[in-house]
């Protein structure tokens, strides 16, 4: 047990432990919480009340969370001193107890921390950011059929342009780097040797590694294994048509993982086409099947044609036995989509998607776009998951103008609590809260953000009254 400078440990409770990334949760876990800045003062008490009530209702005295208050953001500076946005105490507590939940935090100005959320993700190597986007009936939405969207965005959290390795234009290091790239490295690289970086550019570096991509996609596939029917589906989202060795590599490493590590559980979209076609046309030979599968087959070069035939042959030889005869329909479908097209697809064909595995920046954009379809920021939960820790959090900020007014929607942090309970395996309590929220919204008992969008308009509930309403629906 670490020695805490200013924290008061709960008098009871046990530690959550991890084995190979899987948490082992006792019936009385100690869970550190960060109240959060701004509207955190309103949201956190409402959230804690709802979570505790659901656990009590489902499990009586058998299970209980022992909450452990830890500090970050403005509240931490008040207790620990100027610029102490993320005290050692807090880091030690989360490291020791493994799972934490937090309200929104102000992005510090000064003190050397770019963003507290990014810092927490990096310190604990929380490499997958998980953001479910699901519609609750009655939530006002700009879309005609928001109920068709039920996806989980798995956003890689530690790599990509988000690492913040960048230099300002005219910075001496930046000028040296441009000089080295333009005069040494680029001329030596066959495919790009005629390109020149304009002087005066800022430079950002976009690292994407095989290990970082695969450990993240592995989590997405593990998640899909628990789903049913056409929800057993992982889409690798990337911009590999342009950024071949970062975004394209993410896609390739994802397929590599699916067909090697998860061979018995997964089928790629390409393989499923091949098997489906072969089953529909069992009597025709490989070359004719290839002709049916690939429009314009006869116009391809002989090399390309024989490559496709080899591919079809390889699929038949290696997986027809285990995956054929329609068995592939019960497996996890792994496909990929270009990032810009997925923005269209989640709007035009939302029912076709389930889990989107993305890199860091794409995931940031697409998760907000998906959240907007199902009702906006007030209803968008999130979790940051690694192999030895997990932090559940609101995806919105501190909304300072609403702070302390008992007005804001606590839904995002409450739903993050639902994700935490699911992560514990306490599914009954998680379902109870989801039911409570669904019924509150269906009965139009909601906070201002949803009330103002409802037709006809309804009187809003306060933040705390919304929490009570959820509990009354248990
Ligand atoms: P914000 O806090 O997310 O608020 C922007 C607007 O979003 C609010 O004015 C409100 O719109 C709506 N909103 C936010 N939370 C809501 C909720 N719980 N229920 C309903 N509506 C909600 O964004 P910001 O004002 O740009 O950022 C404020 C601070 O938060 C900054 O310091 C920023 O860096 C930080 N931040 C933290 C996190 C995090 O901790 N995860 C995330 C993003 C930003 P209306 O006023 O129109 O109702």
pLDDT, one tens digit per residue, over 118-138 is 889 989 999 999 999 999 888
Give the sheet arrangement for strand 381-385, strand by strand: 66-70, 30-34, 99-102, 390-394, 381-385, 128-134, 150-156, 355-358, 233-238, 332-338, 266-268
| Cα distance between residue 388 and residue 91, in whole Å | 13
C-alpha closest to that of 377 among 396, 363, 393: 396
| Cα distance between residue 190 and residue 72, in whole Å | 49
Position 27 confidence tier, pLDDT thresholds 50, 70, 90:
very high
pLDDT in tens, 235-245: 999 999 999 99
Which mutation among 37, 115, 367, 396 tests ligand 1's pocket best, with the greatest number of atoms within 8 A of CB?
Answer: 396
Token output for 6 = 């200013």
For the ranges 113-122, 176-185, 221-230, 327-336, which has the lowest average pLDDT?
Answer: 113-122
| Cα distance between residue 131 and residue 149, in whole Å | 13
Average the pLDDT over 259-284 and give the result. 93
Which mutation among 73, 384, 391, 398 tests ligand 1's pocket best, with the greatest number of atoms within 8 A of CB?
Answer: 398
| Residue 18, helix vs strand vs coil | strand
pLDDT reported for residue 353 = 97
Position 90 confidence tier, pLDDT thresholds 50, 70, 90:
very high
Q: How many CA atoms lie within 13 A of 14 on its CB side?
A: 10
pLDDT reported for residue 438 = 94
Average the pLDDT over 149-156 and give the result. 97
Spacing, Cα 106 to ligand 1 middle (Å): 9
How many residues comprise the chain? 474
Question: In angstroms, how far is CA 150 from the centroid of its own chain?
Answer: 13
Q: Which of 50-64, 73-87, 446-460 has maximum average pLDDT?
A: 50-64
Average the pLDDT over 29-56 and give the result. 97
Percent of the chain scored above 70 by pLDDT? 99
Residue 112 pLDDT greater than 70, yes or no = no
C-alpha closest to that of 126 among 363, 367, 360, 383: 383
pLDDT reported for residue 110 = 64
Indicate if the alpha-carbon torsion angle 10, 11, 12, 16 is positive or negative. Answer: positive
Give the closest residue (by CA) to ligand 1 atom 42: 397
pLDDT reported for residue 117 = 86
Token output for 267 = 């089928």
Cβ-contact 129, 327 below 8 angstroms: no
C-alpha closest to that of 463 among 56, 141, 39, 74: 39
Pocket of ligand 1 (CB under 6 A): 104-107, 117, 377-378, 393-394, 396-401, 408-409, 412, 449
| Cα distance between residue 66 and residue 28, in whole Å | 7
Radius of gyration of the chain (CA): 25
| Cα distance between residue 68 and residue 98, in whole Å | 12
Position 164 confidence tier, pLDDT thresholds 50, 70, 90:
confident
Q: Which atom of ligand 1 is the closest one to the Cα of 408?
A: 19
Spacing, Cα 129 to ligand 1 middle (Å): 18
Cβ-contact 149, 133 below 8 angstroms: yes
Give the closest residue (by CA) to ligand 1 atom 31: 106
Give the catalytic positions in this structure: 162, 239, 340, 364
| Cα distance between residue 140 and residue 217, in whole Å | 32
Task: Give 61's DSSP letter.
Answer: T
Spacing, Cα 422 to ligand 1 middle (Å): 26
pLDDT reported for residue 115 = 82
Q: Which atom of ligand 1 is the closest one to the Cα of 413?
A: 18
For the ranges 98-112, 175-189, 197-211, 345-359, which has the lowest average pLDDT?
Answer: 98-112
Give the closest residue (by CA) to ligand 1 atom 7: 399
Give the closest residue (by CA) to ligand 1 atom 30: 397
Spacing, Cα 307 to ligand 1 middle (Å): 52
Is cis: bond before 456, omega within 30 of 0? yes
Write down the mean pLDDT value for the chain.
94
Give the closest residue (by CA) to ligand 1 atom 9: 399
């Amino acid at each position: 047990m670490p020695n805490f400078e200013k924290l008061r440990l709960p008098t009871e409770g046990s530690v959550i432990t991890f084995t190979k990334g899987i948490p082992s949760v006792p019936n009385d876990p100690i869970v550190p919480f960060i109240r959060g800045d701004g509207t955190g003062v309103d949201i956190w008490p409402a959230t804690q009340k709802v979570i505790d009530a659901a656990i009590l209702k489902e499990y009586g005295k058998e299970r209980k969370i022992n909450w452990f208050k830890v500090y970050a953001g403005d509240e931490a500076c008040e207790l620990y001193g100027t610029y102490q946005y993320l005290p050692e105490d807090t880091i030690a507590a989360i490291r020791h107890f493994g799972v934490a939940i937090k309200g929104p935090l102000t992005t510090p100005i000064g003190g050397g921390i770019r963003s507290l959320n990014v810092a927490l993700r990096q310190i604990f190597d929380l490499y997958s950011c998980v953001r479910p986007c699901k519609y609750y009936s009655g939530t006002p939405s700009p879309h005609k059929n928001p109920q068709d969207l039920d996806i989980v965005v798995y956003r890689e959290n530690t790599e990509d342009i988000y690492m913040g390795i960048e230099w300002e234009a005219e910075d001496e290091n930046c000028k040296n780097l441009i000089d080295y790239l333009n005069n040494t490295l680029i001329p030596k690289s066959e495919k790009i040797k005629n390109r020149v970086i304009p002087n005066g550019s800022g430079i950002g570096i976009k690292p994407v590694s095989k290990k970082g991509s695969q450990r993240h996609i592995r989590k997405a596939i593990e998640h899909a294994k628990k789903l049913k029917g056409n929800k057993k589906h992982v889409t690798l989202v990337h911009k590999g048509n342009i950024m071949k060795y970062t975004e394209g590599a993410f896609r390739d490493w994802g397929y590599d993982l699916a067909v090697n590590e998860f061979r018995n559980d997964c089928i790629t979209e390409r393989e499923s086409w091949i098997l489906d076609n072969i089953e529909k046309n069992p009597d025709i030979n490989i070359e004719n099947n290839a002709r049916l599968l690939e429009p314009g087959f006869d116009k391809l070069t002989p090399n390309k044609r024989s490559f496709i035939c080899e591919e079809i042959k390889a699929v038949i030889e290696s997986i027809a036995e285990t995956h054929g005869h329609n068995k592939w329909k019960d497996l996890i479908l792994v496909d990929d989509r270009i990032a810009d097209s997925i923005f269209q697809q989640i709007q035009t064909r939302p029912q076709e998607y389930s889990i989107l595995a993305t890199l860091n920046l794409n995931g940031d954009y697409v998760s907000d776009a998906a959240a907007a379809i199902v009702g906006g920021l007030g209803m968008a939960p999130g979790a940051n998951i690694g192999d030895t820790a997990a932090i559940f959090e609101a995806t919105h900020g501190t909304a300072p103008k609403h702070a302390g007014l008992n007005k804001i929607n606590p839904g995002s942090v409450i739903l993050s609590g639902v994700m935490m309970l699911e992560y514990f395996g306490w599914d009954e309590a998680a379902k109870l809260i989801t039911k409570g929220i669904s019924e509150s919204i269906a009965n139009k008992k909601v906070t201002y953000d949803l009330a103002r969008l409802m037709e006809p308009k309804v009187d809003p509930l306060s933040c705390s009254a919304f929490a009570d309403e959820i509990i009354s629906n248990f």
